[in-house]
Homo-oligomer: A and B are copies of this chain.
């Protein structure tokens, strides 16, 4: 893998906040300290699990400042700056840059369904707001906009746009998708995946990065899986992935965000709840959390 910020394992911690949406910066720093003990290549701050869409501009800036302080330049921090309005995303990008972020993660968040031209111009405008490199956050299940190959190619023509975070392909056809994308994108453009349960396969198929929710809480086993996969050791990946499989089942059933909040609470790391309307898992599901993460605790 190259020296790009957008390679290897990127750990996405949740952003603990109180019920009014005020970020618990000490709780966030505890989660970051845990991540920094493992062999992780970057921090993905304020991703979907980091509830970026549920926090105000002020609280997002506080979270970036606290994270940059904690990380202390050991590894790069990629900050989610998605917003419904273009001017707000630009302001968030400037805030992140001012607080010391190394890169930006930008999702085409939508309410009114957007056209490709609108999304292109949105990215262009946010790119112009700072000098930071940008990873396109392609996550149709939350943004309700799918960045297709044509638009991706066009966006890759903007110098700062250097990577994409892809959702899992429907048929898990990573090799074909990656080959198709590489044929259309600049050689140095990085293709990474989110959707934790497909990450081993994605990396084995040649993906550049794993944007990982689970690494935000269990960085060591995620780092081991990443290394085995990047070295092409399929049998090791299979073995290491088994420890995650009860968690993958819960992710698929209840959403990774709700499950990771429950796991963090189970470990005694945070007491924050997800932002309403999102509810904590019901008691009967909570009871399954301990067993699901038993093999992942160091």
Contact = CB atoms under 8 A, between A and B. Distances in A.
Interface string A99-129: 0000000001101111101110110010000
A85 interface: yes
Interface in A249-266: 255, 257
A238 interface: no
Contacts of A54: 84-85, 111
Identical chains in the assembly = 2
A277 B122 contact: yes
Contacts of A115: 279
Contact of A118 (B21, B87, B279): B279
B20 A87 contact: yes
B142 A86 contact: no
B85 A113 contact: no
Contact of A121 (B20, B86, B111, B277): B277
Nearest to A19: B87
A278 B118 contact: yes
Q: Is the interface of A mostly helix, strand, loop or mixed?
A: loop
Interface residues of A, number: 34
A48 interface: yes
B118 A255 contact: no
A19 to B, nearest CB: 7
A154 to B, nearest CB: 15
Which of A53, A54, A85, A118 counts the most chain B CB atoms within 10 A?
Answer: A85
Interface string A27-62: 000000000000000000000100001100000000
Nearest to A114: B277
A141 interface: yes
B85 A275 contact: yes
A144 interface: yes
Contacts of A141: 113
A276 interface: yes
Contacts of A142: 111-113
